[in-house]
Amino acid sequence: MKRKFFLWVVVLGVVMAGVLAACGGGRTETPSPTQPPTAEQSPGPAPVADGATLLQERCTACHTLERVESARKAPEEWEQTVDRMVRRGAQLTEAERVVLVEYLAEHYR
């Protein structure tokens, strides 16, 4: 009995890890205190990717590109959709969210 329970816990853990990895739940490394940050890790805001790149990198982690491309929404609807996806775990900064909403509203009306 204990063995079956243990197997279910392991299977559930593996499935959850896969879901988190697919939706951008990965870790980022921090520089060690003795090591200066590299150019990639330097403090300050990172440049914001363009809307097409954000769509490809962030949205297709959970959706097919065809699903997004077939949707036709008003700008307010795209904003609501993106906000809902962020609440569900999509990894977007506020600046990226704005760029993505503008891109979707312009290209998928």
Residue 39 domain-assigned (yes or no):
no
Residue 63 located in a structural domain = yes
Q: Is position 80 within any domain?
A: yes
Q: Is residue 26 part of a domain?
A: no
Q: Domain for residue 54, yes or no?
A: yes
- Name the residue range of residue 102's domain: 48-107
Q: What is the pLDDT of residues 22-69, one digit of tens each?
A: 555 445 555 555 655 555 555 555 567 889 999 999 998 888 989 888
The pLDDT, as a whole number, for residue 6 is 55
- Number of domains the chain contains: 1
pLDDT above 60: residue 87: yes
Q: How far apart are the first and last CA of the chain?
A: 55
pTM of the predicted model as reported, rounded to 2 decimal places: 0.57
Q: What CATH number is given to the structural domain containing 100?
A: 1.10.760.10
